[in-house]
Amino acid sequence: TMDHLANTEINSQRIAAVENCFGASGQPLALPGRVLLGEGILTKECRKKPKPRIFFLFNDILVYGSIIINKRKYNSQHIIPLEDVTLETLPDTLQMKNRWMIKTSKKSFVVSAASLTERKEWISHLEECIKHLLSKTGRQPCREPAAPWIPDKATDICMRCTHTKFSTLTRRHHCRKCGFVVCADCSRQRFLMPRLSPKPLRVCNLCYRQLLAEKKKEAEADQRQTEPIPCAMQGYEPSSGDDSDKSDDEKAEQWPADTEFYTSQVSWSSFHS
């Protein structure tokens, strides 16, 4: 389905429409051979609460962002190279059904679809694209995905010491290694994890000790020739896990109301073929 769309006018129009919606806040998305396969709104489990996000599936990347006006204006664009993606189906919770996890080496997060069928469609299209890409590049799937952040609401006490209670004065923090919600005392250390960020990141005391031990082992084994993780996209910035706190209430009025999402009656369905 992908290749015959590659150089078509309809594909170029669809990609231009998506770029248009992100406006100046987004990166250019048109590349030779890139195909837009589908789009949909999924609920993303964020730090504070689950929020609707727009997702676009291309044959090589997954793009998502915040919705200001559906089919008109989006912002907070994130771009994920598909060759770095693995998926895991998750059980329903009381609040969220049809869930699965999108895992990458830089960031992992949970999304849910409106129906079971929609989840199946998303997962099968994603898996097909990933398989296609990996077979083309000869790369291996991501072996060590980043831990997903446990949502703030999931716990009222620190998940490490289990006695510090969170309040307006006692803030929640996240360990960047295990994703646990921890208090300041249990996460005083920073550790450099080049896969996640060029800067040292906050980690809990337990992960800090484990990371130090691993580093010492590596030094002893003298494995300094670690190969860099190949990344399909330059400038792919991991989100801090805080994208949920970006203003979703950006004033819609700044956007001219007559901006049309689709030019020339481009037909559009959830997944294009």
Predicted TM-score (pTM) of the model is 0.79
Tell which wins on pLDDT, 239 or 70. Answer: 70
Number of domains in the chain: 2
Angle at 185 between CA 179 and CA 188, to 5 degrees: 70
Domain that holds residue 105: 2-137
Please indicate, yes or no, whether residues 7 and 132 belong to a single structural domain of this protein. Answer: yes
Handedness of CA 217, 223, 228, 229 (dihedral sign): negative
Average pLDDT, the chain: 85
Please indicate, yes or no, whether residues 175 and 88 belong to a single structural domain of this protein. Answer: no
For position 5, what pLDDT does the model report? 84
**pLDDT tens string 37-79:** 999 999 999 999 999 999 999 999 999 999 999 999 999 999 9
Find the CATH number of the domain harbouring 162: 3.30.40.10
67-69-70-72 Cα dihedral, nearest 10 degrees: -110
Find the CATH number of the domain harbouring 121: 2.30.29.30
Please indicate, yes or no, whether residues 9 and 71 belong to a single structural domain of this protein. Answer: yes
Per the document, the length of the chain is 273
CB–CB of 15/36 below 8 Å?
Answer: yes
CB–CB of 29/63 below 8 Å?
Answer: yes
pLDDT over 90 at 130, yes or no: yes
pLDDT bin (cut points 50, 70, 90) of residue 137 is: confident
Long-range contacts of 203-207 (CB under 8 A, 24+ apart): 203/175, 203/176, 203/177, 204/160, 204/175, 204/177, 204/178, 204/180, 205/160, 206/160, 206/178, 207/175, 207/177, 207/178
Say how far apart CA 116 and CA 266 lie, in whole Å. Answer: 28
Please indicate, yes or no, whether residues 61 and 7 belong to a single structural domain of this protein. Answer: yes
Please indicate, yes or no, whether residues 129 and 216 belong to a single structural domain of this protein. Answer: no
H or E, element range at 136: helix 116-137
CB–CB of 38/125 below 8 Å?
Answer: yes
> Nearest-CA neighbor of 57 among 113, 112, 3, 130?
130
Domain annotation covers residue 264: no
Tell which wins on pLDDT, 257 or 179. Answer: 179
**pLDDT tens string 175-230:** 999 999 999 999 999 999 998 899 999 999 999 999 999 999 988 886 455 555 54
For position 272, what pLDDT does the model report? 62
Please indicate, yes or no, whether residues 46 and 14 belong to a single structural domain of this protein. Answer: yes
For position 84, what pLDDT does the model report? 94
φ, ψ dihedrals at 191, nearest 5°: -140, 140
Please indicate, yes or no, whether residues 173 and 77 belong to a single structural domain of this protein. Answer: no
Please indicate, yes or no, whether residues 73 and 200 belong to a single structural domain of this protein. Answer: no
What's the rounded mean pLDDT across residues 148-155?
A: 93
